[in-house]
Amino acid sequence: MVNEDGDQVGVMSTQEALQMATDAGVDLVEVAPNAKPPVCRLMDYGKYQYQQQKRRQESKKKQVQIQLKEVKLRPKTDEHDLLTKVNHARKFLAKGDRCKITVFFRGREIVHKSYGEELLQRFQNELANEAKIEQAPKMEGRTMFMILSPVSSK
């Protein structure tokens, strides 16, 4: 038996422990049921549950979720527009998010897949210091994409 302050009271019967709990106005909680003899503690169980919930919320706040951000391009994307898109991707990578670079082909553009490959290659060269390729350029239907992830600075 352990009291509210964490001090050991000693071994006692269940009835005595329940009586102590009702006298103190708290709950009798079994902490270690498999121990010989089982260990019980006097505590306000509602307050204990509240504190546990707060601890879980605090640990959840500290978690960082990595998202997959997408930057969309076309084969005829011009130089300045490409640099703007590179800067967007650079911001995503700086925040620690992964970045998916997608090139869409419309109509007859699909015949010139090499333009898309060149575009993705230029994109990769611009971000060589900030990102590493997680997935190499891949064609899927009328889109070509690659996935970049931030370089860890450890």
Position 109: which residue type? E
Q: What pLDDT score does 154 carry? A: 41
Ranges of the chain whose pLDDT falls below 50: 154
- For 128-142, b/e burial (b = at least 16 CB within 10 A) is eebbeeeeebeeeee
CATH of domain 14-59: 3.10.20.80
Considering the entire predicted model, what is its pTM? 0.58
Per CATH, the architecture of 68-150 is what? 2-Layer Sandwich (3.30)
What are the boundaries of each domain within the chain? Answer: 14-59, 68-150
Q: Which residue has the tokens 């019967």?
A: 13
Instruction: Convert the pLDDT of each residue in 113-132 to its tens digit.
Output: 889 899 999 988 988 888 89
